[in-house]
Chains A and B, each alone.
Chain A
Amino acid sequence: MKLDLANPAWHTALPPSRTIATDAPVSACAFSRDGGVAAFAQGDGRIRLLPADVGAAEAPASEPVHRGAVLAMVADPAGDGFVSGGDDGRLLRLDVDGAVTELANQKGKWIDRIATHRASGALAAAAGKMALVFKDGELREFGPHQSTVADLDFSKDGSRIACAHYGGVTVWSIGNVTLPPRRFAWAGSHVALKWSTDGKFIATGTQENDIHVWRMAQATDMRMQGYPAKVRSLSWSADARWLYTSSQPVFTAWPFAGKGPEGKPPLQFGEEGASLLTVVAAHPAAEFVAGGYGSGELQLGDIKTRRSVVLKMADGSAITCLAWSPDGFCLAAGNDNGDLLLIDLRR
């Protein structure tokens, strides 16, 4: 089975999907590690779990697990459940049967970013100026940073974490040997961060609507300008050849194969949306990218053929999150209105 946007079915009807309307904005969505469950984190403190099957029956009601809003959620790298952070300062582990374990409680702080490393089962969360790292059953704290940690990510091998903050990025070695952190400075506030899937680059989105990328080996850096809004969503293709970015009306990918993007324009493709992309998510294995718009539209792009197809029409409610199922055939999305979406891409 494969995804093929040349299939005429894409242009005659929207793919099979399932939408569940709720009344709280969706802040994050994720599939469990085994792909069986899709989870949606919401502004009412709830995490709604749905069978990852567009034909399934209604989801069971769920109780709030956070006081206030759930601000971040990811698939548990060490199990089949999920890990969430909230504005109640708690970091929670949720099993698919609903059991909740508190991993950290930092009253007064918000836990609004979580990163994971699949292979090692490690987990990192931003809590104020500190980064909390859970690895091999141990909690270690890294920081304080110059400002609140705005985003964080693991290196490909899981040996380091990169934290974005005011003034640049700090990379910590999280192994047993304590090494001094490495600083990558660039003036201003960095609001989003993704480490490339090959480990060679760290990309950030800045308060000034730019993208900043550091090349790890030479510690050289580059700046991409020309965005009309902050780039809050960055996503590296599985082969690390492309960096997809939000905040343009079409899919925008910077080329990182060969010598890198210096002096080259980004590749832009797809149907122009009525607004800017708010979220982009590269396919876990292949050359596809999913994009959600401020208008509510969803598109699927193919960087090889530079085609795109519409997965969901605009409805005025901004797409806030996107997640691919591990097998790459199902897409989860959430929006500001509280709609939980599952889309089956097999056709």
Chain B
Amino acid sequence: MAMSQSSAQVPVTVLTGYLGAGKTTLLNRILSEQHGKKYAVIVNEFGELGVDNDLVVNADEEVFEMNNGCICCTVRGDLIRIIEGLMKRKDKFDGILVETTGLADPGPVAQTFFTDEDVKAKTRLDAIVTVVDAKHFLSQLEQGDEAEEQVAFADVVLLNKTDLVSADELKKVEDKIRAINPYARIHKTEKSKVELEAILDKGAFDLKRILEFEPDFLEHGHDHDHEEDVKSLSFTADRPIDPDKFQKWMGALLQIKGPDIFRSKGILAIDGAPRRYVFQGVHMMMDADWGQPWKAGETRASKLVFIGRNLDGENLKRSFQDCLK
């Protein structure tokens, strides 16, 4: 049931990136290249795209707070409406791309796919793709939180305009991206030229594919101990996790730090459970399910990752350790 449902859901790719990073160029490529697929594109500025296409939809980014007492639970109201409308069309499409404005927080877009039942029934969030301007990224980091947050949210980073920087400069930018988000896949591009397979249908939010998307997810040594404002923290454990303690800890953590936690993922060895427990989330929203069974004799190791702002690593580590048996 769940399987057949997921295959009928249209994958949605969220395309973020600072002003001028190359999102429009990328969208024009996707719309004009001959790849035999049809994508609906939801853009924030009509007419910016050179392509006149029925499947280009204009959206005013309307970020709505849910009236449910949860302050960081915001959704994109326009997206809910547009997806409902797109599903009424006779001609179906292979995917939907949602472009966010250069200064937008990708959180509300992602949360829409966790929160709205109608959207969830018809579509699935596939991945967040962030286009980074190699030449201007470092200076954009100085100008505000947006450039940094967009990278923090990313499953895939298109490190664009590599032809405009030296090898040294490129290395610096790449290191910086890695420091913020070591889990995103980076593709270096010129003029946003990239194979569509690199950015579409990645299944980054599919709990069944967490391992597939990040083969080294369970390996150690990802963390970078820089003084980053936004960074990733990972915690591992070889002892089983007490489910009650963990649930309580996680619930409290998301309640308090939810607005600062952009992405979270985990594969957990729950005490007494024959299967892996996998979860992933955006801010306070979370999806969780039982994953692959543990094999006989396999080391039952847990790992969880947070990418966020102002996270206290020592404190989190201690409190996570308290959840172990």
| A293 adjacent to chain B (CB < 8 Å) | no
B contact residues around A67 at 8 Å (CB): 54
Whether A25 touches B81, Cβ cut-off 8 Å, given contacts A67-B54, A206-B67, A207-B64, is: no
Q: Mark A117-148, 1 if CB is under 8 A from B, else 0.
A: 00000000000110000000000000000011
Find out whether the CB atom of A43 lies under 8 angstroms from the CB atom of B117: no
> A205 → chain B, closest Cβ, in Å?
12
Minimal Cβ-Cβ distance residue in A for B75: A207
Chain B residue contacts of A188, Cβ below 8 A: 64-67
Of B21-29, B82-90, B217-225, the one contacting chain A is: B82-90
Of A55-63, A90-98, A107-115, the one contacting chain B is: A107-115
Given contact pairs A25-B87, A43-B89, A230-B117, A87 touches B65 in the complex (Cβ within 8 A): no
Q: Given known contacts A27-B88, A109-B58, A128-B60, is B117 in contact with A166 (CB within 8 Å)?
A: no
Q: Which residue of A has the minimal Cβ distance to B82?
A: A110
> What CA separation (Å) do A44 and B65 show in the bound complex?
34
Quick one: closest B residue to A70, CB to CB? B88
Task: State in angstroms the CA–CA spacing of A229 and B118 once bound together.
Answer: 8
A68-B89 in contact (CB<8A): yes
**Distance A208 CA – B85 CA, assembled complex (angstroms):** 20
Contact pick for B62, options A43, A44, A148, A208, CB 8 Å: A148
CB proximity of B219 to chain A, nearest CB, Å: 41
Known A109-B58, A148-B78, A150-B81; judge A71-B68 contact (CB<8 A): no
- Find out whether the CB atom of B58 lies under 8 angstroms from the CB atom of A207: no
Q: Which residues in window 87-116 of B have CB below 8 A to A?
A: 87-91, 116
Q: Which residues does B use to contact A, with CB under 8 Å? A: 46-47, 54, 57-58, 60, 62, 64-68, 75, 77-78, 80-82, 85, 87-91, 116-118
Distance in Å from the Cβ of A50 to the closest Cβ of chain B? 18
Q: Bin the interface of chain A by size.
A: 35 or more
Interface residues of A in 162-216 (CB under 8 A from B): 166, 186-189, 206-208
Are A69's CB and B46's CB within 8 A?
Answer: no
Instruction: Pick the contact of B64: A43, A109, A112, A147 (CB < 8 A).
Output: A147
For residue A4, CB closer than 8 A to chain B, the reply is: no
A contact residues around B85 at 8 Å (CB): 69, 71, 87, 110, 112
A27 to B89, CA, bound (A): 9
Instruction: Tell me which of A150, A189, A338 has the highest count of chain B C-beta atoms within 10 A of its own C-beta.
Output: A189
- Name the contact of A189 in the complex, choosing from B64, B87, B89 (C-beta under 8 A): B64
Cross-chain pairs A/B with CB under 8 angstroms, 18 sampled: A42-B90, A43-B89, A44-B89, A67-B54, A68-B89, A87-B57, A87-B89, A108-B46, A108-B58, A110-B82, A148-B60, A148-B62, A148-B81, A188-B64, A207-B77, A207-B116, A208-B66, A229-B117
Indicate if the CB atoms of A147 and B62 lie closer than 8 Å: yes
Q: In the docked arrangement, what's the CA distance between A188 and B77, Å?
A: 10
Return chain B residues, CB-CB under 8 Å to A128: 60
Contacts of A187 in B (CB 8 A): 65, 67
A interface majority secondary structure: loop
Question: Do A25 and B90 touch across chains, with their CB atoms under 8 A apart?
Answer: yes
A25-B87, A188-B66 given; name 8 further pairs at CB < 8 Å: A24-B89, A27-B88, A109-B58, A147-B64, A186-B67, A189-B75, A207-B67, A229-B118
Bound form: Cα–Cα A147–B80 in Å: 13
Bound Cα distance A27, B75 (Å):
25
Q: Do residues B77 and A148 form an inter-chain contact, with CB atoms below 8 A?
A: yes
B82: A residues at CB distance < 8 A: 110
Query: Shortest CB–CB separation between residue A43 and chain B, in angstroms?
Result: 4
Complexed CA–CA distance, A254 and B273 (Å):
46
Instruction: Find the B residue at minimum CB distance from A46.
Output: B90
A23 within 8 A of B: yes
Docked pose: A45 CA to B90 CA in angstroms: 8
**CB-nearest residue of chain B relative to A187?**
B67
- Which residues in A have their C-beta under 8 angstroms from that of B62? 147-148, 166
Known A110-B85, A112-B81, A166-B64; contact A43-B90, beta-carbon cutoff 8 A: yes
Pairwise interchain contact B118-A44, C-beta atoms closer than 8 A: no
Please report the C-alpha to C-alpha distance between residue A176 and residue B77 in the assembled complex, in whole angstroms: 33
Residues of B within 8 A of A44 (CB): 89-91
Give the residues in chain A near B68, CB-CB below 8 Å. 208
Say how far B48's CB is from chain A's closest CB, in angstroms.
Answer: 11
The 9 closest A-B pairs by CB, nearest first: A188-B67, A24-B90, A44-B90, A187-B67, A108-B58, A43-B90, A108-B46, A43-B88, A69-B89
Check if A69 sits within 8 Å of B90, measured CB to CB: yes
Give complex CA distance A128, B81 in Å: 11
In whole angstroms, how far apart are the Cα atoms of A150 and B82 in the complex? 11
The residues of B that contact A206 with a CB separation of less than 8 Å are 67
Residue pair B81, A68 in contact (C-beta under 8 Å): no
- Tell me, in angstroms, the Cα distance from A188 to B116 when the chains sit together: 13
Residues in A with CB closer than 8 Å to B46 are 107-108
Chain A proximity of B124: nearest CB distance (Å): 18
A71 to B57, CA, bound (A): 14
Q: Across the interface, do B81 and A208 meet the contact criterion of CB distance under 8 Å?
A: no
Complexed CA–CA distance, A204 and B66 (Å): 16
Residues of B within 8 A of A25 (CB): 87-90
Most buried by A among B57, B78, B90, B117: B90
- How far in angstroms is the closest Cβ of chain A from B194? 28
Contact B77 A166 (CB under 8 A): yes
Residue from the set A67, A109, A110 with the largest chain B CB neighbour count within 10 Å: A110
Smallest beta-carbon distance A190→chain B, Å: 10
